[in-house]
Structure 1
Amino acid sequence: MAATTVTDAGSVRIITEVIPATDPRAAQLVSGSQPPAAARTSFQTQGFQRAHPKVLGTIHIFSGIIHICFGIILTLSEHDNPSLPVASGILFWLGILQLLVSGSLLVESERRDSPMLVKTCCVVNVGVVLSTLVATGIHGMAITRHMPGCEKLRPFQIRPEWCLNMQGKILSNGLDSTLVLLSLLGFCVAVAVLAFGYDIVRQHRYTQLVRN
């Protein structure tokens, strides 16, 4: 049976009730005082959530789709004389393996409060940073190079017909410039993910060390 004490403090009366451990109300009070598991997990990743990973992931997804679409168009139009970006396949492996994968993980990381998922996003975005730098270099080389087959010719060698049409080179340079901007955008998004996810990864490693 619960013991009740009454204390008068001026105009205030304080009633204190002591509930035994066997009382069903004690279990309800204990369970109600503990924060839910979802709230504890959310606290671990709330720093990363401030970066709005769903927005960053959406940018990566659309950038990856544009890379793949441009890759298909340029591959079909340059199948006889592929340019450096087409020959390297950078438009496909950057769009599929990096940007689309990273974008999907970032969108999922906003739905699930998982430090391990944040760590995976950081690892993938390290690859995105390196890949976008390589892609920027390849597109830059393509802009400065002549069209395939239009390099300095040997004596008595006939210049191909497409070398006389500079509009093709201008269009190619415009596409490469656009892809450079998309690569730089992907680079900035990946750096933002790494900046916000670094503390989460460090805290996760510290927690594992303490548990071990």
Structure 2
Amino acid sequence: MAATTVTDSGGVRIITEVIPPTDPRAAQLASGSKPPASTMLSFQVQGFRKAHPKALGTIHIFTGIVHICFGIILTLSERGTYSIPVASGVLFWLGLLLLLSGSLLVESEKRDNILLVKTCCVINVGVILSTLVATLLHTTAITRDIPGCEHNTQYQLRPDWCSDIENKMLSNWLDSMLVIFCLLEFCTAVAALAFGYNAVKQHNYTRMAL
């Protein structure tokens, strides 16, 4: 049986009723007090959207296109012996990874899907590792001679174009610019991963609490 108390305060009568757990109304109140799962999920994804994933995704898509375009140009222009970044193919596979990451980030702006957020986190871990590798390759290329122009032996003849310092300056400028792009991509991926991990952690905590 429910216990009822009546309190008068400032001309206002407050009636308090305590409902025991066995009362059918208790189950209705308990179920009504829980927010819908879709509302909770939307709240968690909204936390991820504070990172502006569409803007982050646009950065990844743009830089991914730049990497692929430079990869094609350098592959066609270098003379048989390719530089370290071109020979490793980093310009292509990093560019494709950035396009994938950017597309998922842009899509996550439109859909309330925690699985999509988790996928973005996994892909951005790959982007972080790939940008570190790419930065190492471009830095190594800057410190080395142009391929085919190394001093292997004392009397080895070098091609005429090796004496043109502008070739090395241009190569170093391109590698330096790509290093800057890698740093931008790294920071973008870290931001997306941080917000995505926080949203996933909240989602897992909510599921356990329920």
Give me the TM-score of the superposition, normalised by structure 2. Answer: 0.79
Is the contact made by 1:119 and 1:197 (CA closer than 8 Å) also made in structure 2?
yes
The alpha carbon displacement at 1:153 in A equals 3.3
Is the contact made by 2:135 and 2:182 (CA closer than 8 Å) also made in structure 1?
yes
Matched residue, 1:149: 148
Matched residue, 1:131: 130
> Which amino acid in the other structure matches residue 61 of structure 2?
I
Q: How does 1:56-67 map to 2 (within 5 A)?
A: 56-67=56-67
The alpha carbon displacement at 1:45 in A equals 1.0
The alignment covers a number of residue pairs equal to 180
Change (3 A) 1:104 1:66: same
The yes-or-no answer on 1:195 pairing with 2:187 is no
RMSD value, Cα? 2.2
Structure 1 Cα separation of the partners of residues 111 and 141 of structure 2: 41
> Which amino acid in the other structure matches residue 51 of structure 1?
A
Is the contact made by 1:61 and 1:100 (CA closer than 8 Å) also made in structure 2?
yes
Structure 2 Cα separation of the partners of residues 40 and 153 of structure 1: 65
Structure 2 Cα separation of the partners of residues 204 and 39 of structure 1: 12
Q: How far does the alpha carbon of each residue in 1:146-199 deviate from its partner, in whole angstroms, 9 at most, with x for none?
A: 011111131432111121111111001000000000000000000001111111
Sequence identity percentage: 66
Q: How does 1:110-189 map to 2 (within 5 A)?
A: 110-189=109-188
Structure 2 Cα separation of the partners of residues 119 and 131 of structure 1: 19
Query: 5+ unaligned residues in a row in structure 2: which ranges?
Result: 1-32
Is the contact made by 1:153 and 1:159 (CA closer than 8 Å) also made in structure 2?
no
Matched residue, 1:95: 95
Q: How far does the alpha carbon of each residue in 1:8-44 deviate from its partner, in whole angstroms, 9 at most, with x for none?
A: xxxxxxxxxxxxxxxxxxxxxxxxx997775443212
Q: Secondary structure at the match of 1:111?
A: coil
Give me the TM-score of the superposition, normalised by structure 1. Answer: 0.79
Structure 2 Cα separation of the partners of residues 41 and 72 of structure 1: 43
Q: How far does the alpha carbon of each residue in 1:102-121 deviate from its partner, in whole angstroms, 9 at most, with x for none?
A: 00000000000111111110
Query: 5+ unaligned residues in a row in structure 1: which ranges?
Result: 1-32
Matched residue, 2:44: 44
Farther-moved stretch of structure 1 (54-63 vs 43-52): 43-52
Matched residue, 2:11: none
Is the contact made by 1:60 and 1:100 (CA closer than 8 Å) also made in structure 2?
yes
Change (3 A) 1:201 1:38: closer
Matched residue, 1:11: none
